[in-house]
Structure 1
Amino acid sequence: MSSKFQRYTGGALSSHDQVARALGADIITGIYPPGSKIPPEAEILDRFGISRTVLREVLKTLTAKGLIVSKTRVGTKVLDQAHWNMFDSDVLSWKVASGFNADFQRDLTEIRLAIEPEAAALAAQRATPDQIALLRQRVEAMRDARESRIAFAEADLAFHQVIGRASGNMLMRSISGVIETALVASFTMASPVDEDAEHDKSVGLHARIVDAIEAGDCDAARSAMRNTIGHGRQRIDKAEKHKTG
């Protein structure tokens, strides 16, 4: 598994990251529901075999992500979901670990449709020749990834990250964690590489985005991005129906 997706598997993580991931997942899955207290320090230290220093850093991390709050004489309590930073890559990955339900899949698609088509439209105005060349390279990497879900997903992620940079908008670039999470859903549930026709269609849709950006056609870039995101959602819906059918 590439380092880009290690947070989703727990592989090659530090003690701090492993414990944060475990406690974060316990909170997000409801083992420690909002309003409840996380286990006392001694219990956590015994469970993970870590030092108090590592635990303090873990709690700081979870606090910064909006999952918990510590108060004197009250203890450390789990916050309501309204406080969770769902744009944080780690929080998203912990959500992935709890499972892709229909509501979460819908939320991912909706936020991508709200932002990425506009990023593509801006890229049509602002992309440099080097960025366009890089997008072409990413499309070719996707084309070559016929037998590896991971290789395809990595090329796909890199493509969308270049779009974010080419938009010239730093806030649009910041949603890369959302895109990464959506692509994890794609390659774990319904990767285009599983079927030749789906693979060719996905590559073609991404190529059309680049064509529109290179032509400076904002409307076409916007539409092509919508179609690409829609195609990914259709694959996931198809996989879900097949699984439950």
Structure 2
Amino acid sequence: MTGSAALSARNARRRPRLAAAVVEDLVTAIVTEVYAAGSALPPENVLCDMFEVSRTVIREATTALTEKGLVVSQQGRGTIVQDSVRWSLLDPMVLAALFQRDDGLVYLDNLIEIRTALEASMAAKAAERLTADDAAELTGQLEKLDALLGTPAAYVHEDVRFHDIIMRISGDRLSEAIINSIQGKALKNISYSGKLNVEHIRDTHAAHKQVYDAIMKRDGEGAARAMREHIQGSWKKRRPTSLK
């Protein structure tokens, strides 16, 4: 391979990563209202200088922003930021940026409302669909959680697995996909996860046992109620007063 061909190959490999980094920065800037709705993004040449990339990368990034509903190109005006009603709110980058806004707590509260409704329903379905193999798997996970009560960080990791098992047992793939898509980004936000402490973990474990007991009894209504109380109660304990 000649020197110029090798350079071209390296640039081709770098471009997607460069474009993704530019897109992420611009998504965050738009969603957090550094660029307000109705305003224009800086011209291509200015963005090239800002990010130290080529016009090709900026055009790829602009295309991605358009696909996410964040901007629209207007003749004579440039790339215009769209109103938030047009944003693709379930897009992973947009979601992550929403939780960084000054009013990000509103979106975290909304996430809890969505989780409560969907996971309560899935807990009820899990109770109705439970098989012997499912019961053994859920029991094993609860026992694993029981052994981790003194190590909050490890408990939180397995806590997610406990919920995943219940969602899988429910057979409700659409609700599971919605929760995983929105919660995956929220879990990286310290305001959502809260400060870890043993007292909170013990309360969480007690709530898990109530959900578990109802599912094992095949009590759909009780499982839904226990899951609802668990999610809402846990959020009430760890919810910050603000994101500042």
C-alpha contact 1:157 1:183 (8 A) present in aligned 2: no
Aligned partner of 2:227 among 225, 228, 241:
225
TM-score, scaled to structure 2: 0.77
1:95 pairs with 2:98: yes
1:118 pairs with 2:121: yes
Equivalent-residue separation in structure 1 for 2:190 and 2:41 (angstroms): 33
The DSSP-based 3-state class of the residue aligned with 2:241 is helix
C-alpha contact 1:153 1:187 (8 A) present in aligned 2: no
Counterpart residue number, 1:158 = 161
Counterpart residue number, 1:4 = none
Deviates more, 1:113-122 or 1:219-228: 113-122
Unaligned runs of 5+ in 2: 1-15
Distance 1:107 1:47, change over 3 A: same
Counterpart residue number, 1:240 = 241
C-alpha contact 2:124 2:223 (8 A) present in aligned 1: yes
C-alpha contact 1:100 1:185 (8 A) present in aligned 2: no
Distance 1:146 1:128, change over 3 A: same
> Percent identity, aligned pairs only?
31
Counterpart residue number, 2:183 = 179
Spell out the pairing of 1:187-198 with structure 2 (5 A cutoff): 190-191=194-195, 193-194=196-197, 196-198=198-200
**RMSD of aligned Cα (Å):** 3.0
| CA displacement 1:56-91 (0-9 Å, x = unmatched) | 332233222221222444422111111122222321
Equivalent-residue separation in structure 2 for 1:186 and 1:210 (angstroms): 27
Distance 1:200 1:43, change over 3 A: same
Counterpart residue number, 1:39 = 42
Counterpart residue number, 2:63 = 60
Who wins on radius of gyration, i.e. which is larger? 2
Equivalent-residue separation in structure 2 for 1:36 and 1:89 (angstroms): 23
Distance 1:230 1:30, change over 3 A: same
Distance 1:44 1:92, change over 3 A: same
C-alpha contact 2:155 2:201 (8 A) present in aligned 1: no
Counterpart residue number, 2:5 = none
Equivalent-residue separation in structure 1 for 2:57 and 2:165 (angstroms): 35
C-alpha contact 2:40 2:81 (8 A) present in aligned 1: yes
Q: Kindly state the Cα deviation for residue 26 of structure 1 after the two structures are TM-superposed.
A: 0.5
Equivalent-residue separation in structure 2 for 1:132 and 1:112 (angstroms): 23
1:79 pairs with 2:105: no
1:114 is matched by which residue type in structure 2?
A
TM-score, scaled to structure 1: 0.77
Distance 1:127 1:78, change over 3 A: farther
1:126 is matched by which residue type in structure 2?
R
Equivalent-residue separation in structure 2 for 1:187 and 1:148 (angstroms): 16
Counterpart residue number, 1:49 = 52
Equivalent-residue separation in structure 1 for 2:211 and 2:139 (angstroms): 10
